[in-house]
Structure 1
Amino acid sequence: MINIEGIMNKNFSVLKNEATNENTSPKRLDTLANIPELAHLVAQNINTSPETLTKLAAHDNENILKAIVSNANTPTEILIKLGDKFPQELANNPIIDLWLLEDNNPLFERNKLTELLAKNPNTPINLLKILAQSPDYLVRSEVAKNTKIPISLLEQLATDSDKKVRQGVAENDNTPVSLLEQLATDSDKKVRQGVAENDNTPVSLLEQLATDSDKKVRQEVAKSPNTPVSLLEQLATDSNHDVRIEVAKSPNTPVNLLEQLATDPIDNIRCAVARNKNTPIKLLEKLANDPQKLVSSVAKKN
């Protein structure tokens, strides 16, 4: 009796060897790519033509797509389309080294690939290092915000000529205190705002930023969960009403400061006190009789 299954297995084994053999012609590989069980092997083969790889890129099978992104013959437009989904495979692609020698290096351009790779926490360090040298400041700024970049890259980007890049470093949760101290004296107000926003900024720096000439920096200090009561007391008397509003909103503002701000001449500040969940009932009752309707209405609802 003929063993049909055995013959089929033997035939498949032959086809599999063809799909993996680097000496198989591109034309034959294109034919083998039509066999679903062999498609991922064809996608891995360094002799597979760009045309076949483009055809295989229409698949939704992850193993096939990973193999395509790893293959040096894959057209640049396909790598741009798929590279951010499989950053490790892209990092392992030999084409990256060739791109670095080209004038039109796709990793030095702002496109879908570079934007998404710069943001992706799974992007390998070697790719992030390349992106950190991009001539496009927006790509560098996204790298600066990436929480997975090493300290060495944060140090490099903290001295970037573009303020948006330095702001990204200032906002990064992994930026060490030594760099936050450096950026707290930056000439650009948005960089200093980024330091004030950072949850890792120590009290000593918040104290420094609480006297900043820019009101938005002082606002961010008032918003910070790390700001001590002593600083909130200082900011509660700030000359700018937007800063005082942030103190009135803060869940860390003590009752005595809420009582003080409840008499502020600015309606929006009294309204913020009325909305604050820590405002005691006695103070809410007082604000319920505020001459400004919005204040009294909010106090009655709190």
Structure 2
Amino acid sequence: MDDTTLPLTKNVTQAQLVAAEPSTDPELLRELALSSDKIIRQLVAGNPNTPADVLLRLGAEFPSELLDNPVLPLLLLENLNLVAEIPLNTLRSILRQENVPVYILEQAAEKADLEVQLALVNNVQTPKGVLNRLTQSRHPQVVESACLHINLAGELTEKYKERIKEVIQGIIPNAYKADTSDLVVLAQICPIPEFIVEHCVKDFSYKDFLCRKLANSPATFPNFLKHLANHSDGWTRGINQPQISQELLQEKSLSISWLERLAIAQNPQATQQILIQLAQDSNQLVRAAAKDRLQNLSSS
């Protein structure tokens, strides 16, 4: 039945209000579930008065609404085989959600469907018992993912971490193909995982734009600066930045390069101890910069 056969749905706004009302007649909700209006269908999926078969069908399109529907736990109590009766498309959708009840995860493991099993091994909530069963799956990719799941491994093992690195590094594009400016912005507003930093710094294609830009930005996080400090490009070492770590400041104050020692002497985060050390430096410019900073500190 489409909207033209239901007088109420000629007014979409009114139909939406009716679809959201918990006291709406179940058969009217059944008809509203066939509406061409997405919001109406979504509201029907969240309505506790909607017939069970309609809810399970709509769950493929609106899995979050189905899981949040207060009638779902009651339906599962009334019918212990309900999970087995959930249409595959709906089951695949709800297993990708973050708030899946454990008993649905456990019963879904009975399904031989590849997409269902992959959704289970990719859901962080899936319990250890279910994962153990999935290690016996006939699908190799399910077995591998189940073995690597944090709930089965118990912790982030080296194998697990290396696998993550391989996957993520495999999808990081070459700088010439990527919108590198987006990565610059990202590196300036949040810390980037260490292995991604290493990957970008080692990739020659990133050096000129990404690394130099970050080395000269006062917003770049210390984990990026730590790697840039040893960059092959002298303009991309970032050791003049105030957010550089004290550990790196101390290390670079002993550098064989007088230019690096000078940058440390001029860095506003250099401690008095470092400045006293550099005030005795063999290079005149380094000594002068360190003494000037010490004088400013004593007068402030």
Asked if TM exceeds 0.5, the reply is: no
| TM-score for both structures, normalised by structure 1 | 0.42
Q: Given the two structures, how large is their TM-score scaled by the length of structure 2?
A: 0.42
